[in-house]
């Protein structure tokens, strides 16, 4: 399959590697780190929503992508919107659901102990805090749109379903998230879908996910039903605020005796759960924000210690709760005078829960960037007057090194200035293999150094003129211009780098 970018670049797609109800995911030929999501029938307004998201990403840090953010829009041969490019998450990542279940976790991630679970919860909180800092809301936050690495790094996926508020000078366009899983939906939204979701709605779902991570996948509103009648559903318990770990159910629900005691959690973390599910039931604004969860989980992880059986537990406890945890399974007693067969014995042994100790020599899990996540991103708005983004120190140092090398190898002052500006643009733009390919064609065709230099200096302005002619009357004109300018600047920077390699 052949698709095109907004700049009419041909992109070849491989066979589908995943299929869903609305789209398929393809590999990109020649770009292992990139995937393409192609819609069967794109929804109305999705292209405008994704244009805004591409121009206003919440996470510009290099390294592990904690949010699989759209990178570039794709169009079919007729010029109609078809999908978008996104980063590929590799390295043994699994869905968060597989980390919840202790038995599944022991198979797919055998070294993922309670410390790693704290770190994964912390990294998830950091990613959500970065989104909320830029006025994005997930809306449908659940265990299926979160990937976890064996190193406890996490990635939010299915980002095209996030709620987006496109704010321009005189207009605010809302692209809502219409659906959400009920077991992660706060009580005020149970039974109806709002026109606009807010961060405190995400904060409820985040607290549920963190509870499930730390409590072996158990939902915070799950418990032993003590009242008469049929046990209510999880959704009804959420709606009524029946949190069994804080006596909020009026004696209707009690903790499950087979689960890890609530008192085994770090006291600060336990307090945040109570604040979210009890006080937050009455007033959603008091629910802990993602940044508060991040800081509390940081402190809780530092407060963990290891027992003789290699279990991790909080230091405020006098004994390891994992060693004392006993789970009984109901078995049918054999008939009198009859012993179990070997097959029945094997089944009984498999039914007994086992603890999976973790070696003491394992390396600690890494933190997800940004760390600390102290609102490093700007709110996605289009100001009246653009200002250039701050250039990172590493980019400045690299540009100075390029300038020094250019002078040392005999470049003129004008050529050196062009190389320095291109190096800065290269450092502030995302990698793009097609720009390198175009520059390589110029070199292999025998172009002179002067031709290459003019191509480098003129690429950015050419992209700006083309974008201006294409989208002059578009409501998001400035964002599209910025995206084209980045690509053009990258092309110029790539030419300058190859020029230095060939003629230096």
If pLDDT is split at 50, 70 and 90, which confidence band does 397 have? low
Q: Residues spanned by CATH 1.10.510.10 within the chain?
A: 90-328+341-356+367-381
User: Nearest CA to 137 among 85, 178, 96?
Assistant: 178
Highest mean pLDDT among 308-317, 326-335, 352-361: 308-317
Which of 46-55, 232-241, 329-338, 343-352 shows the lowest mean pLDDT across its residues? 329-338
Mean pLDDT of all residues in the chain?
A: 77
If pLDDT is split at 50, 70 and 90, which confidence band does 112 have? very high
Q: Residues spanned by CATH 3.30.200.20 within the chain?
A: 1-88
Predicted pLDDT at 500: 58
CA atoms within 13 Å, Cβ hemisphere of 392: 13
Burial class, 470, CB count within 10 angstroms (exposed 0-12 / middle 13-18 / buried 19+) = middle
SS3 of 329-346 = CCCCCCCCCCCCCHHHHH
CA gap 127, 65 in Å, rounded: 10
CA gap 250, 21 in Å, rounded: 42
Q: pTM for this one? A: 0.67
Q: Are 303 and 315 in contact (CB under 8 A)?
A: yes
**pLDDT of residue 349 exceeding 80:** no
Domain 1-88 has CATH 3.30.200.20: yes
**pLDDT of residue 402 exceeding 80:** no
Predicted pLDDT at 352: 38
If pLDDT is split at 50, 70 and 90, which confidence band does 333 have? very low
**pLDDT of residue 444 exceeding 60:** no
**pLDDT of residue 477 exceeding 50:** no
Predicted pLDDT at 169: 79
CATH number attached to the domain at 90-328+341-356+367-381: 1.10.510.10
**pLDDT of residue 220 exceeding 90:** yes
Higher-pLDDT residue of 1 and 185 is 185
Other CB atoms within a 10 A radius of the CB of residue 246 amount to 16
What single string gives the DSSP state of each residue in 229-290?
SSPPPHHHHHHHT--GGGTTTTTSEE--TTSPPGGGS-HHHHHHHHIIIIIHHH-GGGSPPH
What single string gives the DSSP state of each residue in 152-200?
S-EEE--GGGSBEEEE-SS-EEEE------GGGS-GGGTTS--SS--HH
Q: Are 75 and 85 in contact (CB under 8 A)?
A: no
- Angle of CA points 278, 282, 288, to nearest 5°: 60
Which of 4-18, 139-153, 261-275, 359-373 shows the lowest mean pLDDT across its residues? 359-373
**pLDDT of residue 163 exceeding 90:** yes
Predicted pLDDT at 382: 30
CA gap 158, 164 in Å, rounded: 13
Residue 219 DSSP SS3: coil
Which residues are CB-contacts of 464 (< 8 A; sequence separation ≥ 6)?
A: 481, 484, 485, 488
DSSP letter assigned to residue 473? T
pLDDT average, residue stretch 65-80: 92
If pLDDT is split at 50, 70 and 90, which confidence band does 61 have? low
Predicted pLDDT at 125: 96
pLDDT average, residue stretch 122-140: 94
Which residues are CB-contacts of 93 (< 8 A; sequence separation ≥ 6)?
A: 147, 148, 149, 155
User: CA distances (Å), 90 to each of 57, 65, 146, 150, 153, in order?
Assistant: 21, 10, 13, 11, 11
Residue 217 DSSP SS3: coil
- Read off φ and ψ for residue 219, nearest 5 degrees: -70, 140
Which of 138-142, 152-156, 252-256 shows the lowest mean pLDDT across its residues? 252-256
CA gap 275, 281 in Å, rounded: 9
Higher-pLDDT residue of 257 and 280 is 280
pLDDT average, residue stretch 300-324: 91
Q: Are 93 and 147 in contact (CB under 8 A)?
A: yes
What single string gives the DSSP state of each residue in 408-430?
HTT--HHHHHHHHHHHHHHHHS-
**pLDDT of residue 171 exceeding 80:** yes
pLDDT average, residue stretch 375-385: 31
CA gap 463, 166 in Å, rounded: 24
Predicted pLDDT at 234: 93
Which of 206-215, 233-242, 426-435 shows the lowest mean pLDDT across its residues? 426-435
Predicted pLDDT at 471: 44
Q: Are 139 and 163 in contact (CB under 8 A)?
A: yes
CA gap 37, 82 in Å, rounded: 8
């Amino acid at each position: 399959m052949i698709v095109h970018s907004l700049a009419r670049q041909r992109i070849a797609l491989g066979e589908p590697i995943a299929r869903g109800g609305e789209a398929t995911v393809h590999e990109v030929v020649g770009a292992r780190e990139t995937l393409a999501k192609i819609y069967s029938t794109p929804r109305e307004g999705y292209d405008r929503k994704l244009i805004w998201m591409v121009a206003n990403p919440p996470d510009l840090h290099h390294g592990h992508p904690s949010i699989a953010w759209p990178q570039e829009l794709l169009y079919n041969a007729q010029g109609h919107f078809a999908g978008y490019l996104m980063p590929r998450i590799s390295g043994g990542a699994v869905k968060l659901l597989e980390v919840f279940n202790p038995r599944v976790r022991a198979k797919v991630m055998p070294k993922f102990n309670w410390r790693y679970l704290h770190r994964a919860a912390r990294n998830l909180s950091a990613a959500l805090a970065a989104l909320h800092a830029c006025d994005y809301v997930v809306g449908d936050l659940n265990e299926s749109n979160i990937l976890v690495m064996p190193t406890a790094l996490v990635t939010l996926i299915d980002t095209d379903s996030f709620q987006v508020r496109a704010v321009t000078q005189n207009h605010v366009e809302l692209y809502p998230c219409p659906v959400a899983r009920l077991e992660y939906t706060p009580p005020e939204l149970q039974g109806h879908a709002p026109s606009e979701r807010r961060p405190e709605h995400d904060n409820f779902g985040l607290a549920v996910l963190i509870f499930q991570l730390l409590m072996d996948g158990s939902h915070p509103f799950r418990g032993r039903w003590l009242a008469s009648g049929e046990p209510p559903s999880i959704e009804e318990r959420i709606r009524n605020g029946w949190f069994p770990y804080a006596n909020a159910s009026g004696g209707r629900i009690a903790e499950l005796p087979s689960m890890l005691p609530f008192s085994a959690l770090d006291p600060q973390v336990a307090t945040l759960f109570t604040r979210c599910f009890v006080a937050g039931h009455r007033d959603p604004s008091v629910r802990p924000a993602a940044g508060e969860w991040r800081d509390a989980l940081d402190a809780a992880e530092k407060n963990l210690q290891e027992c003789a059986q290699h279990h991790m537990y909080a230091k405020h406890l006098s004994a390891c709760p994992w060693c004392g945890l006993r789970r009984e399974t109901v078995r049918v007693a054999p008939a009198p005078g009859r012993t179990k067969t070997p097959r029945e014995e094997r089944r009984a042994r498999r039914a007994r829960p086992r603890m999976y100790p973790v070696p003491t020599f394992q390396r600690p899990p890494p933190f997800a960037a940004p760390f600390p996540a102290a609102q490093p991103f700007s709110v996605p708005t289009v100001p009246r007057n653009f200002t250039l983004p701050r250039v990172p120190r590493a980019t400045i140092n690299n540009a100075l090194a390029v300038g020094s090398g250019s002078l040392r190898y005999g470049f003129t002052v004008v050529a050196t200035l062009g190389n320095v500006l291109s190096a800065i643009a290269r450092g502030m733009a995302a990698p793009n293999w097609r720009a390198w390919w175009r520059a390589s064609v110029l070199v292999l065709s025998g172009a002179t150094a002067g031709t290459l230099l003019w191509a480098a200096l003129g690429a950015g302005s050419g992209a700006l003129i083309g974008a201006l002619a294409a989208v002059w009357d578009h409501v998001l004109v400035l964002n599209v211009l910025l995206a084209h300018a980045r690509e053009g600047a990258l092309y110029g920077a790539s030419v300058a780098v190859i020029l230095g390699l060939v003629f230096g």
